[in-house]
């Protein structure tokens, strides 16, 4: 056997012996995968990128904007020329509303065309890296964006059905035409499609999978939405007014087809339910887990989820609930959870991510038995650059422990306190002031005392509250905080910073390279960190028994730290519905923090910072908790 020298991430390495897989004969059967070469049991780059076939088709979809005309959905395609007419190939697809608006990736790349309308630059690296390995790459303009007709729909039927139509055309169903109007068939495709994308792009992958469309083999949703209600709302609390129409208008910028979508946008404003925050038919249409059109029970594709545990844009419940629901349906799953925010793992964990994604697509689209399905399904960054691997998530050793709230500002296992505690609502209360240790009339704070052992929180914390208020409509904000000095990923810039160095991931042309700036993690020593947030709307004056679901997390809290629970009426990320100085009273006996934790909860010390201790602190500072002498220790 021959060995092959491969360019990989800008360096030259000697590859393992090359193995040919596939028939390699002309007129291969449609179900056959293309001939590929394996190096270290992954597909090697044996097809010419510069000479690959590049073409654009417009796939016909149903009338999705109500104007009486069928939609024409633009799909830009690149595929190996050597296999044209001899073998059919699988597809990696990134469907997006961003190709001509805000761009894709950390460097905001946009599609570029020559004077004749031919695509000369695909954003991102998927084309450069995977086409030489025997894949086609298809970049789809969602309806209402870029070069497609129709109107945008913030995750509704227009968005999903327009992309689904392309998946079906690639599987030999439906029709498409080129710029001249000639009918085009996808006779080069074997019908196997894998969808990938970050944010809105990954959301489209989730939605299309939830249609149950045939031959969508796998999806890789990165920082993606599984329910648009859970993106725009949190238990009735509203993110911002008329957000669906605002986002839909934004992603439709710079499109090449002038379309009046004002009626659709007005309809969205009239039906988004900002006034109540309720889950209505509008949101059921945009729910891929258990909605009116789409449902997790229809998913047949395997799913490789990636999400940042500090993502405050697409919050983690979009990944955690999707993961749980997929598991209940027996779907083949894999998941990465990083400590960053809304960041693509190509930027944060580049080499390992490309290697893992490569093996995943080879397994799911090329039927190569490389063992990735037999490895631990879940990888979690529980602290900066500290990774844990497990077959399940939350981890099997995590058990929900309930900490009862006490009027002296403690929370502990066991004994309940039957008294009450009150705070005064203030919309001017900042998060920084809310979580500072010490007395504050505008919030309640409960502390565990210091931990004697490391604890791993894995899953979704909840807080049971028995709360009374006098406002016509009330609200609560809840935060779980880790107090203790340590190196953490910063919340600034989603924890990522772009560097000056580059690495390259595939061959290039004069107009389309595969080189991208590296991205580092913003790691710094901090005194505390908010681990999870949650909100709830409380309709009507009087008593409310409510369970506030916090954002899912998986994080190690080191020994010597303490956990804090902060309860307020401040907005901290959602619109305030009670703007008065209303008094909220919490009945402590029926209120508690429910924490999914692995480790000895009894390891909490009996002490906590009291008001007397905080008098010693300079105004506006936080304690060095590692150096604090805890009362009662």
Q: Give the domain ranges of the chain.
A: 3-375, 399-627
DSSP state of 434: H
103 forms beta bridges with none
Domain 399-627 listed as CATH 2.60.120.260 = yes
Residue 7's pLDDT is: 32
User: What CA dihedral angle connects 318, 324, 329 and 331, to 10 degrees?
Assistant: 80
Q: What is the pLDDT of residue 33?
A: 79
Question: pLDDT value at position 572?
Answer: 78
The CATH superfamily of 3-375 is: Alpha/Beta hydrolase fold, catalytic domain (3.40.50.1820)
Using N-to-C axis directions, what is the helix angle for 262-271 and 243-251, rounded to 10°?
150
What is the pTM (predicted TM-score) of this model? Answer: 0.91
How many CB atoms lie under 10 A from the CB of residue 231? 24
| pLDDT at residue 603, as a whole number | 54
pLDDT tens digits, 380-401: 999 999 999 999 999 999 999 9
3-state secondary structure of 455: strand
- 3-state SS assignment for residue 526: strand
Q: Which parts of the chain register pLDDT below 50?
A: 1-18, 23-31, 607-633
Please confirm whether the linkage preceding 42 is cis (ω < 30° from 0). Answer: no
Residue 13 has what pLDDT? 32
Query: Residue 576: what pLDDT?
Result: 94
Does residue 50 sit in helix, strand or coil? coil
What's residue 443's pLDDT? 97
Determine the pLDDT at residue 22: 53
**Coil, helix or strand at residue 64:** coil
- Cα-based distances in Å from 542 to 494, 535, 586: 39, 18, 12
Active-site residue list: 199, 311, 342
Distance of CA 376 to the CA centre of its chain: 20
């Amino acid at each position: 056997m021959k060995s092959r020298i491969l360019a990989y991430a800008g360096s030259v390495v000697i590859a393992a012996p090359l193995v040919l897989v596939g028939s390699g004969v002309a007129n291969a059967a449609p179900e056959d995968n293309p001939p590929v070469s394996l190096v270290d049991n992954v597909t090697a780059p044996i097809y010419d990128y510069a000479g690959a076939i590049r073409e654009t088709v417009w796939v016909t979809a149903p009338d999705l904007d109500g104007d009486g005309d069928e939609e024409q959905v633009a799909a830009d395609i690149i595929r190996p020329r050597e296999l044209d007419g001899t073998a059919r190939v699988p597809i990696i697809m990134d469907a997006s509303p961003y190709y001509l608006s805000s761009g894709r990736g950390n460097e905001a790349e946009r599609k570029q065309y020559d004077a004749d309308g031919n695509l000369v630059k695909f954003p991102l690296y998927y084309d450069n890296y995977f086409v030489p390995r025997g894949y086609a790459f298809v970049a789809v303009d969602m309806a209402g964006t870029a070069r497609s007709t129709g109107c945008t729909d913030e995750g509704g039927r227009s968005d999903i059905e327009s992309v689904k139509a392309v998946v079906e055309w690639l599987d030999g169903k439906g029709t498409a035409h080129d710029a001249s109007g000639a009918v085009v068939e996808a006779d080069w495709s074997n019908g196997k499609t894998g969808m990938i994308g970050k944010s809105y792009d990954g959301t489209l992958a989730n939605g299309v999978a939830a249609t149950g469309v045939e031959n969508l083999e796998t999806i890789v949703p990165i920082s993606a939405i599984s329910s648009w209600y859970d993106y725009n709302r949190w238990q009735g609390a509203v993110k911002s007014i008329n957000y669906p129409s605002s986002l839909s208008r934004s992603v439709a910028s710079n499109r090449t087809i002038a379309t009046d979508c004002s009626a659709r946008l007005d309809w969205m404003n009239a039906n988004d339910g900002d006034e109540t925050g309720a889950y209505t038919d509008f949101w059921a249409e945009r729910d891929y887990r258990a909605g009116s059109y789409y449902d997790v029970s229809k998913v047949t594709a395997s799913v490789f989820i990636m999400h940042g545990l500090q993502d405050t844009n697409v919050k983690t419940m979009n990944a955690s609930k999707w993961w749980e629901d997929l598991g209940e349906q027996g779907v083949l799953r894999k998941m990465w959870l990083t400590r960053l925010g809304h960041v693509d793992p190509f930027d944060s964990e580049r080499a390992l991510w490309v290697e893992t994604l490569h093996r995943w697509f080879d397994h799911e689209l090329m039927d190569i038995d490389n063992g990735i399905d037999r490895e631990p399904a879940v990888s979690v960054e529980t602290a900066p650059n500290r990774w844990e691997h497990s077959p399940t998530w939350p981890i099997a050793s995590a058990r929900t422990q309930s900490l009862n709230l006490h009027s002296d500002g403690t929370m502990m296992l066991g004994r309940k306190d039957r008294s009450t505690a009150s705070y005064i609502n203030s919309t001017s209360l900042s998060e920084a002031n809310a979580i500072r240790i010490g007395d504050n009339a505008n919030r309640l704070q409960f502390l565990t005392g210091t931990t004697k052992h490391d604890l791993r929180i894995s899953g979704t914390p909840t807080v049971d509250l028995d709360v009374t208020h006098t406002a016509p409509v009330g609200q609560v904000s809840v935060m779980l905080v880790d107090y203790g000095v340590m190196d953490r990923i910063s919340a600034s810039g989603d924890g990522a910073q772009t560097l000056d160095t580059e690495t390259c991931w595939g061959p290039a042309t004069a107009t389309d390279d595969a080189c991208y700036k590296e991205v580092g993690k913003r790691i710094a020593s901090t005194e505390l960190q908010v681990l999870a947030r949650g909100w709830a709307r409380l309709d009507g004056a009087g008593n409310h028994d409510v369970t506030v679901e916090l954002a899912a997390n998986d994080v190690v809290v080191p020994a010597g730290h303490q956990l804090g629970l902060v309860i307020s009426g401040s907005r901290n990320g959602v619109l305030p519905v009670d703007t008065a100085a209303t008094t909220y009273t919490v009945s402590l006996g029926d209120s508690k923090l429910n924490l999914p934790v692995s480790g000895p909860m009894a390891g909490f010390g009996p002490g906590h910072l009291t008001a007397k201790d905080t008098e010693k602190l300079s105004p506006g500072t936080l304690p060095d908790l590692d150096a604090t002498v805890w009362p009662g220790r």
